[in-house]
Structure 1
Amino acid sequence: MEAFIAASAAVDEFLKRWKGNTGSERANFQSFMRDLCTLLDLPHPDPGEGDTTQNAYVFERFIASARVDGNTDNRYIDLYRRDCFVLEGKQTGKELASRSQQNAVNAAVAQAERYIRGLPQEEVEHGRPPFIVIVDVGNAIYTYSEFSRTGGNYVPFPDPRHYEIRLEDLHKPDVQHRLRQLWLEPDQLDPSKHAARVTREVSTKLAELAKSLEHNGYDVERVASFLKRCLFTMFAEDVELLPKASFQNLLIDIKDRNPEAFPHAVKALWETMNAGGYSERLMQTIKRFNGGLFKGIDPIPLNVQQIQLLIDAAKADWRFVEPAIFGTLLERALDPRERHKLGAHYTPRAYVERLVMPTLIEPLREQWGDIRGAAETLLRQGKTDKALQEVQAFHYQLCQTRVLDPACGSANFLYVALEHMKRLEGEVLGFISELTQGQGVLESEGLTVDPHQFLGLEINPRAAQIAELVLWIGYLQWHYRLNDRLDLPEPILRDFKNIECRDALIEYDSREPELNKNGEPVTIWDGISMKVSPTTGELIPDETGRAKVYRYHNPRRAEWPAAEYIIGNPPYIGARRIRSALGDGYLQALRGVYTDIPEHVDFVMYWWAKASENMASGKTKAFGLITTNSLRQSFSRKVVEKTLDINSDCSIKFVIPDHPWVDSADGAAVRVTLISVDSNKAPGIVALIRNEEAEGSGAYKITLDNKSGHITPNLTIGADPGEATCLSSNSSVSCVGYQLTGKGFVLTQSQKEEHENEWPESVIKPLWSGRDITQSPRKNWAIDVCDWGIDALKVSSPSLYQWLLTRVKPEREQNNRASLKERWWIYGEARNTFRPALIGIETAIATSLTAKHRVFVHLDSNSICDSTTVMFALPGAQYLGVLSSRVHVLWSLFAGGTLENRPRYNKTLCFETFPFPKMSSDQSEKISDLAEKIDQVRKGQQAKHPDLTLTGMYNVLEKLRSGEELTNKEKTIHEQGLVSVLRELHDDLDRAVFQAYGWSDLADKLVGRPGATTPLPDKPAEQAEAEDELLMRLLELNKQRAEEESRGIVRWLRPDYQARDAVQTEVDIAPKAAATKTEASTSKGKASFPKAIPDQLRVLREALAERSHTTESLAEMFKRKPMKSVEEGLQSLVAVGVAEYDPETQTWHTV
């Protein structure tokens, strides 16, 4: 963007024309905006087009705005600029900062937010506009931002003190520049982008200095403490807690005149900062900082080059260092084991906000809206003192609200929470100032949102210390922004002990190192130390970096500090990695005290369980966690279900089931679930990612599609697969594949040919993995001697015995499970309870455990399918057909979980709950014929073209269904795979299966549509509605079958096998049966209308969120029909921009 400053005379002319103008809004608004564009050298809005998709920058941009009652209003945005802003114009004619003028502005903001939520999909492909602008013609311009572009809460920009631009402020070059950027480069106004760059530069300088000092032989901890004091001193001078540039000038003076004096001069300064008093060096009185940061001062002598690095770091503007990422980068800079990660990606601030906002800030802002509305009611009644009391009471409550991060790291989540609570506090104090003509601001009395409210648990001592520093820097930054100064009571820093360095999950009396049989401490890789591989040049684990494994005495559940809100991002450790990452002793202690948690859950679920306990005890109102995206899988889902069971009034408020994330520990890209649980039962929002756009630094700009309603433990709206019951009819005929646990069991084709004549023919079997099914078959073979005794094996086939002895046994001896060491020639999981189901059948069915496309194939029944597959002992092709249909695939996507972004087939949830259709002989024959043709076409074409894969074929099939153009490579796959033939066969199969269920009405809406084998995130509304209906019908059919089975009527899939022995011996976690649902009892009658005005507004707001109401229908909900109080409450909701009145229908509805 080119630099531009409007001439002072031009600004004067603009002010002369417009300042104080009292004409009508309709007559003046567009003229005012054109003049403003001319003044700031901005393009003028374009003429409107009949095709609204062409109206990227226009006045009166049409939008159909949806209401909660299902109706739509035809509205017009006063001025719209795509990807930049929604602008609403007013001409209040009111005095600036008066209550009536502020109410008009608030109502305009709410209206603009509603327009943004209602923008059509084509307008938000790259995200929603980052700005709302309100123009009070002749008075002022107000700016609000939301840089995540997801349409969340828009907050005053740049902060509550400076978001109002009065017309005379247009003389200021920085204001002109801000408005021009808002028009032309709005994302450049995102302070986190500039701050991130500054923070990276500073961290790099600090890392260079730390490395230099460690090279000089100084202890790592001493270096870290020294540099933390230095950087806080740099910050203090930039926010004028110390005289401006005083530390930087001191460093320059020492470097130029006497470098040897450095430790003495700095020690003297820090001692003065600790105690307060007169500084000889700075020749000024210094405030008392205290707080523990400047205790035990022991500065390190620096040479000239090292002092220069400090000077370079001090030159940065520390007012704009970004605390949300500073902690992570500082931790990496100061820890030699972490330093290699300094250039790695960090968790972007926008990602953190996506959890903090719905969990913490939105509830607080809802409360603030109710308080503002109550104040408006009281002001209309002439009760100014009571209005002030309501607002002051909310401010007091805000300053006592505690937020806990039980895995806080370097406090990036806590800082973002602090910042947004400081923003909210600024608005509250602004209101108090309006009510008291500036006399009622309470900051001088010490009542303020500060670090004591932000509590953390962190096991890493260095990270815990950095967390405290981050919170203080963040707090002081915001205090400075809101007040333009830092006139704080002393001591400036206080040792609140709000960050505790301890384990978040267990407490214990003592621990001792675990010893091996030689009496030496058992150690594991510390999970941090890395080295450069001599082979690849890449970083690999450094096995010399070891951590001791401990045994814990009297372990018990840890107690968490009381907090109204819990947020956090616990460690990403999968269930299978907990033992190797933390040691046997820790895992034993953990599972010993959390006996109610399934053993096979990821580490994060223990944090979930603790947060749930705190909510059940009434300590916590809401919690939000980042979890692995396996949350919907059976074991983790059991923990979620338990939360909703023991907290009967709680509900999932917000969830993004599959979100890109950057692991702050190592910068790795992962997929996670963001989830927020509230202690009140209410509809929630499931946000699905429709579009991801890489932004660099590992971050993605995402576009979300939101769906509202009751969120189930499966993280979906509506039907809950957890209500489905496992059916006896489907029992004992499915199993996860064999887990070989030994590479020596696997033979290549050449090895098989070499040994097949000397080994028993029956022990060499075809080997299939999930990859062999979905990609190109590798044609490997497996040795299967699971039904052999070791003595028989030695006698019958010594050669085979030696093969296993030398290739399997050494590997098994390293395994921790005693049974695998003792029975080393037998598979780790031999599936002995499933093997009988394969006897007497020639073919079986298999699918990959995780795969992009859910496809099923026929295989020989003697095949060894490994643990990346699921096997089905169903010989009839009609079952292959039903499983391959979009009816079953949709159910499996609905009921199963995901691994990364690939659907996972959980046989308990996806197969054992699935109600097969009751097929006539003709229907069964038709489905069998189509299934066999599909299987034959695929296998035949793969035999002709060995590089052809099922994934490739179904990728092309999906493109054909969506109408996308094929690339040259895809055209080749289309020809080689006969994909159009495959498409036709699948469509015919889907129709036949729908007909077998008697649901041909849904076939017309779904057959041939994309998403038949893989999740389709951006599906048309008609298709989504039909799929929801299909799932509801399947769930109802499941309930019918379960009811039949309770009466002894079982529709066995293989009665010849199952009915003979129908007891299932392999135990899986089964979904709970559907609970009986009853209508809420009405015997208690109507509720009383609350006495407190904020509570009145809350119940009215919640009622309007459900549907539109007349004044009378709202009053009818309560005893004694309080028409007057309801009318007053509704007027207050309108005043604060929460509700609107439709004179045509005489109804009220939310904005």
Structure 2
Amino acid sequence: MNTPVAASSNVLSSTDIDAFIARWRANEGGAERANFPLFLTELCRLIGVPVPDPADATHDRNDYVFERAVRLQDIGGIQRNGRIDLYRRGCFVLEAKQSRERGGTKEVASPEQAPLLGLPPPDDSDRRGRRSAHRSWDVLMRNAREQAEQYARALPTDHGWPPFILVCDVGHAIELFADFSGQGKAYRQFPDRAGFRLYLDDLRDPAIRYRLRKIWLDPHALDPARHAAIVTRDIARRLAEVSKRLEDRGHAPEPVAHFLMRCLFTMFAQRADLLDRGSFTQMLIDARDDPSSFAPMLEDLWSAMNTGGYSLAMRSTVRRFNGGLFAERSAIQLHREEIGELLEASRHDWTEVEPAIFGTLLEQVLDPVERRRLGAHYTPRAYVERLVIATIIEPLQREWETQVLGTVERERLSRPAVAIRAVHDFHERLAATTVLDPACGTGNFLYVALELMKRLEGDVLEVLADLGGQEALALETATVHPRHFLGIELNPRAAAIAELVLWLGYLQWQLRNRRTIADPVLEKLDNIATMDAVLAHDRVAEDGTLTNPRRPDWPDAEYIVGNPPFIGKGSAMRSAFGERYLTALWTAHPQINRSADFVMYWWDRAAERLTETGTRLKRFGFVTTNSITQEFSRRVITKRLAAQVPIGIVLAIPDHPWTKATTDAAAVRIAMTVVERGVPVGQRLQIVAEHGLDTDAPMLGFAATSGRINADLSIGANAAAAFALVANDGLSCNGMMLAARGFVLTAAEAHHLLAISPPAATGIIKPYVGGADLVRHLSNRWIIDAYGHDETALRTIFPAIYQHLLMTVKPVRDTNRRTAFKDRWWIFGEPRRTFRPALHDLSRYIGTTETAKHRILQFLPATTTPDHMVVCFALDDGFSLGVLSSRAHLQWTYANCGLIGVARFEQGHRYTKSRIADPFPFPDATPDQRAVIGDLAEELDTARKDVLDTQPDLTMTGLYNLLARLRSGSAFDPVAQDQRQRGRVDILAQLHDRIDTAVATAYGWPADLSDTDIVARLVALNAARHAEEKAGRVRWLRPDYQIARAGLTALPLPARSEQIEADLPAAPRRKPQFPRDAIGQTAAVLADLRSGAGLTSDDIARRYAQGQKVRPRIAATLAALARLGHVAVDGDRHTLRRAA
């Protein structure tokens, strides 16, 4: 690729620019398509950027070329070739107007062809290329934009989503659409509705040429969020200084908060020309010279802003603001330095402040604890956008682009009033759409939703103007407005900030789009309710009990989105709220298990609202902790997904950064889920690349998979729904949960106590193994296990041991809340009474650490007492170790485990016995197969232990790190190569490969199954085994122990048999009526096309009661959708190009 060159604005003369404009304005009609490469090449020279490279035959290096080849796939799986008119990797996809695919080439609509396509003939007016040119509905520009978005979706995954899409009408205009979120789902007019279309005449403006140059060379520099975040943080820093000084002087936080909010809105009003430009800054300059005048002048100004009227401080008449913000207009007297901070803040361009982060920063400004880390812990706007787009904008956009615009294209020529009405009605629905954030904090989600919906509204109004001109626009009285953005927030100060943030965002939008702002500038909305979102109650009793606890009512809304508080569960909730609040919460939400994370109370409440009869709610989306995939929180999701009225997850991101990372704090990790009613096909996003997490514009790369999303946020076979098998009952358990570290002894302490105690003490003082021991080296720790001894016997027979426990354990247990822990203080907190018998007759058992990067299972001596971080299997045979060490068990583990902290699977996962071990179906192996697997597993276990015994610098984790490097093909440096040799890593790999093959053979499977197929087969096998067990047939793993334990008699297993099925005739179904209304007709045709099969108009007509009578309307709808680029046409068959 050519090296980017900086262009200097003085290289071009006005004569050069005039010549370019005149040359290309003269080229019209059929020559446009043929000339677009020349036009764009000359445009590149005009704006001072490199010209495109020659195309490479392999396409691998075609990062900046004309006619870049891509492979498209329609909804039915049909693949076709496409070519991007001009592509620059990481920057843009450009599509020229009048692109039509015919036999792989693109042609224009000539004057003769236009009527055949339902298009007006080309405009021969010499007004082309001028902003004053008449604009009418241009279906080909719409088609080109849709085509460009399809091409962006078809780019290689490692290219990412281009931030810009450009649509070029050669010789006339270039339209700009941007999506800086990296999702490719919200390309919107850039920078706004007023300025997204650049005409040839506009190229005379150096700012326009600079904008285009940045799109070519550094598009992300145009992201408003980047500059806005810098401005916002500087303002917040100055406000923080004022807030701290006032706090030091004894001012209460709440009056300071409202005072500063009035100050900052006044600064915004000045910059937005709602006050005379510069007037407030001048007042601050005067007050800095005479600080005693500051408070009186400010109170005079705010009084005038509240009611409207003359302000002596401003020496002018002031507009009426009202809205409640200035109802309280008292000002705090500031010192000269503090006034100076406000003065510097007022000099900023307040129209560039980013409301999405401003609220969070302002809350930090006003909180003494949070102020110390000002700007170090907030959510970048791009992260908020990701959830808001998926929850709210996607369904609205889909309705707009397919149903509404499809109807418009069908009706615009024959029935223009119907087309206008379709757009008008959608605008009315959009303007009335209500969004609720039931944990709104300072309003960042609500603001982003407001702004993105305003952008969609801009697109709607643009089409309305194209169809009906200013007359049609004049009839629009509704608008997307803060009144429809509702919040629930417990903190009154945050709630007040949220309302202010919404108004700032709304007024910014109005000003950017040159919309007039009427008096009163602000309205009193009361749209943020100050209350607890998950618990309501009556009075508080004298003992602190909350009486009549219940779930509070939430306002009705079409969409719910938000970020509930990350408190955690169990002890974390108890520490945050106290026992009485928790008791009331559990009483109000009996359907939620008490071990679920606090955020799940929001998730469950929204899910309930989604399934209520007559609900307005269409979707909800929440940020939750990424532990949502772990068992206790997952139970909440499982119950709702399997309810009588089902819901489904349409987007799942199991692991995502959330807060901005800093040098002293890692980015918090979260999960995102978006849910709607029904059983939808969902999309699961997995992060494959992360860059700039410590910046205001982080860049993430995703790999997407589609399918039914399970409760554990996986796609494919639902391993989370697998049944615990009786065959595995009683054979696995976590080790001992101590509930006091005094039980643990060093080797010296153990030997000393054994030396001064009776010989029977060897049954009490035992070797101890923890989770870390299994992945490193055994630490030679010991433990006192007094299970089976009462307190008197322990004190009289083993006094030295009793004395040690009395000193080290009892003081800790005396403070424990659980009565059993206090009363039996000398016994482990969880001594595993029911699991101990499973180990009695064994000389060894299998253990694995609960949390691990690598899933390693090994034999442990039966004399060893395991810690609760060790998952134990009461199995002593090599066959069992081999199966549990196999790829089949590993993939089953991954499919069922929860993520640990900020990690993904390759960094750490948790082995949950109830979800992994209990439902896992072992293969029904023959004796020979058991022997082969057992021998390999014994060799594997011995080989690893021999290495660790002879190579003390190596660890089990280290061996498997080297194994992972070997399998990836990565190079070994000299140190790693030496460790590979001494660790016998290649032998380790060979043994694992042989075990995997042998276990696959025992299952009767091919050895080269994909990970997904392995899990799917195990899920199916689990279901078959469960059915067997319901019929009384159990494939016991240790029949001698398990049958006796269960008090049962062994029954013979059934012989293998085939399921006999018969197809029953379906009952005849009455055909539906084809809708009469225009939007309904378009929606019906789209629903039929979603079947994925290529359909003709006759095929669709036969699905309706009216039959051939409605075929013309169906054919017209298909033609309209094809012209807009939503439908691919092959002969007379039609297929959706994407799921619309």
Instruction: Name the TM-score, length of structure 1 as normaliser.
Output: 0.90
Question: Which residue in the other structure is 2:537 paired with?
Answer: 508
C-alpha contact (below 8 Å) 2:410/2:1116 kept by paired residues: no
Corresponding letter in the other structure for 1:13 = A
Corresponding letter in the other structure for 1:397 = R
Instruction: Indicate how the Cα distance of structure 1 residues 993 and 1080 shifts in structure 2: closer, same or farther if over 3 A, else same.
Output: farther
Matched, 1:237 2:276: no
Matched, 1:605 2:622: no
Question: Which residue in the other structure is 2:1077 paired with?
Answer: 1092
Q: Secondary structure in 2 aligned to 1:449? A: coil
Which residues of 2 match residues 241-640 of structure 1 at below 5 A?
A: 241-256=274-289, 258-377=290-409, 379-380=411-412, 382-441=414-473, 445=477, 447-482=478-513, 484-485=514-515, 487-511=516-540, 550-576=544-570, 577-617=572-612, 618-640=615-637
C-alpha contact (below 8 Å) 1:649/1:679 kept by paired residues: yes
Q: Which moved more, 1:962-971 or 1:597-606?
A: 962-971
Question: Which residue in the other structure is 2:1053 paired with?
Answer: none
C-alpha distance in 1, partners of 2:1090/2:163?
25
- Aligned-residue RMSD, C-alpha: 2.4
Question: Which residue in the other structure is 1:943 paired with?
Answer: 949
What's the offset of the Cα at 1:86?
0.9
Instruction: Indicate how the Cα distance of structure 1 residues 1085 and 892 shifts in structure 2: closer, same or farther if over 3 A, else same.
Output: farther
Identity of aligned residues (%): 43
Q: Which moved more, 1:489-498 or 1:195-204?
A: 489-498
Q: Secondary structure in 1 aligned to 2:38? A: helix
Q: Secondary structure in 1 aligned to 2:501? A: helix
C-alpha contact (below 8 Å) 2:380/2:660 kept by paired residues: no
Which one of the candidate residues 1034, 1042, 1059 is aligned to 1:1050? 1034
C-alpha distance in 1, partners of 2:1062/2:813?
51
Which one of the candidate residues 44, 50, 55 is aligned to 2:62? 55
Q: Which moved more, 1:333-342 or 1:983-992?
A: 333-342
C-alpha distance in 2, partners of 1:1131/1:569?
43
C-alpha distance in 2, partners of 1:51/1:73?
18
Question: Which residue in the other structure is 2:714 paired with?
Answer: 716
What's the offset of the Cα at 1:158?
1.3
C-alpha distance in 2, partners of 1:1041/1:145?
53
C-alpha distance in 1, partners of 2:986/2:1070?
62
Question: Which residue in the other structure is 2:45 paired with?
Answer: 38
C-alpha distance in 1, partners of 2:95/2:1088?
28
C-alpha contact (below 8 Å) 1:555/1:589 kept by paired residues: yes
Corresponding letter in the other structure for 1:687 = L
CA displacement, residues 714-768 of structure 1 (integer Å, 9 cap, x when unaligned):
3222211133221110111111221111010111223222322224111122222
Matched, 1:670 2:668: yes
Question: Which residue in the other structure is 2:143 paired with?
Answer: 107
Which residues of 2 match residues 771-920 of structure 1 at below 5 A?
A: 771-900=772-901, 901=903, 902-920=908-926
What's the offset of the Cα at 1:373?
2.6
Question: Which residue in the other structure is 2:1094 paired with?
Answer: 1109
Question: Which residue in the other structure is 2:1105 paired with?
Answer: 1119
C-alpha distance in 2, partners of 1:696/1:103?
43
C-alpha contact (below 8 Å) 1:273/1:286 kept by paired residues: yes
Instruction: Indicate how the Cα distance of structure 1 residues 358 and 1083 shifts in structure 2: closer, same or farther if over 3 A, else same.
Output: farther
Instruction: Indicate how the Cα distance of structure 1 residues 301 and 957 shifts in structure 2: closer, same or farther if over 3 A, else same.
Output: same
Q: Which moved more, 1:830-839 or 1:1105-1114?
A: 1105-1114
What's the offset of the Cα at 1:675?
0.6
C-alpha distance in 2, partners of 1:1136/1:1149?
11
Which residues of 2 match residues 955-974 of structure 1 at below 5 A?
A: 955-974=961-980
Q: Secondary structure in 2 aligned to 1:704? A: strand
Question: Which residue in the other structure is 1:977 paired with?
Answer: 983
C-alpha distance in 2, partners of 1:4/1:680?
57
Which one of the candidate residues 221, 237, 244 is aligned to 1:204? 237
C-alpha distance in 1, partners of 2:501/2:864?
58
Instruction: Indicate how the Cα distance of structure 1 residues 304 and 1146 shifts in structure 2: closer, same or farther if over 3 A, else same.
Output: closer
Question: Which residue in the other structure is 1:1014 paired with?
Answer: none
Q: Secondary structure in 2 aligned to 1:585? A: helix
Q: Secondary structure in 2 aligned to 1:440? A: helix
Instruction: Name the TM-score, length of structure 2 as normaliser.
Output: 0.91
C-alpha distance in 2, partners of 1:714/1:1082?
37
Question: Which residue in the other structure is 1:8 paired with?
Answer: 14
Q: Which moved more, 1:624-633 or 1:198-207?
A: 624-633
C-alpha distance in 2, partners of 1:1147/1:339?
56
Question: Which residue in the other structure is 1:524 paired with?
Answer: none
What's the offset of the Cα at 1:892?
1.4
Instruction: Indicate how the Cα distance of structure 1 residues 252 and 349 shifts in structure 2: closer, same or farther if over 3 A, else same.
Output: same
Instruction: Indicate how the Cα distance of structure 1 residues 1051 and 770 shifts in structure 2: closer, same or farther if over 3 A, else same.
Output: same
Instruction: Indicate how the Cα distance of structure 1 residues 377 and 163 shifts in structure 2: closer, same or farther if over 3 A, else same.
Output: closer
Q: Which moved more, 1:429-438 or 1:911-920?
A: 429-438
C-alpha distance in 2, partners of 1:632/1:340?
33
Instruction: Indicate how the Cα distance of structure 1 residues 1051 and 646 shifts in structure 2: closer, same or farther if over 3 A, else same.
Output: closer
CA displacement, residues 984-1037 of structure 1 (integer Å, 9 cap, x when unaligned):
0000111110111111x2x1x25xxxxxxxxxxxxxxxxxxx222222221221
C-alpha contact (below 8 Å) 1:616/1:647 kept by paired residues: no
Instruction: Indicate how the Cα distance of structure 1 residues 903 and 1095 shifts in structure 2: closer, same or farther if over 3 A, else same.
Output: farther
C-alpha contact (below 8 Å) 1:359/1:567 kept by paired residues: yes
C-alpha distance in 1, partners of 2:291/2:1062?
79
Matched, 1:930 2:936: yes
C-alpha contact (below 8 Å) 1:80/1:87 kept by paired residues: yes
Instruction: Indicate how the Cα distance of structure 1 residues 138 and 651 shifts in structure 2: closer, same or farther if over 3 A, else same.
Output: same
Question: Which residue in the other structure is 1:228 paired with?
Answer: 261
Question: Which residue in the other structure is 2:247 paired with?
Answer: 214
What's the offset of the Cα at 1:207?
0.3
Instruction: Indicate how the Cα distance of structure 1 residues 425 and 804 shifts in structure 2: closer, same or farther if over 3 A, else same.
Output: same
Instruction: Indicate how the Cα distance of structure 1 residues 2 and 259 shifts in structure 2: closer, same or farther if over 3 A, else same.
Output: farther
C-alpha distance in 2, partners of 1:603/1:443?
47
CA displacement, residues 16-45 of structure 1 (integer Å, 9 cap, x when unaligned):
111252142332100100110111111000
What's the offset of the Cα at 1:1145?
6.4
C-alpha distance in 2, partners of 1:26/1:939?
72
Q: What 5-or-longer segments of structure 1 have no aligned partner?
A: 515-549, 1007-1025, 1065-1075
C-alpha contact (below 8 Å) 2:7/2:48 kept by paired residues: no
C-alpha contact (below 8 Å) 1:236/1:242 kept by paired residues: yes
C-alpha distance in 2, partners of 1:822/1:1081?
66
Question: Which residue in the other structure is 1:763 paired with?
Answer: 764
Aligned residues: 1076
Which residues of 2 match residues 1001-1150 of structure 1 at below 5 A?
A: 1001=1006, 1003=1007, 1005=1008, 1026-1062=1010-1046, 1083-1111=1068-1096, 1112-1121=1098-1107, 1122-1143=1110-1131, 1149-1150=1137-1138
C-alpha distance in 1, partners of 2:700/2:1063?
40
Instruction: Indicate how the Cα distance of structure 1 residues 1147 and 702 shifts in structure 2: closer, same or farther if over 3 A, else same.
Output: closer
Question: Which residue in the other structure is 1:521 paired with?
Answer: none
Instruction: Indicate how the Cα distance of structure 1 residues 343 and 778 shifts in structure 2: closer, same or farther if over 3 A, else same.
Output: farther
What's the offset of the Cα at 1:945?
2.6
C-alpha distance in 2, partners of 1:625/1:138?
46
Instruction: Indicate how the Cα distance of structure 1 residues 1123 and 55 shifts in structure 2: closer, same or farther if over 3 A, else same.
Output: same
Q: Secondary structure in 2 aligned to 1:510? A: coil
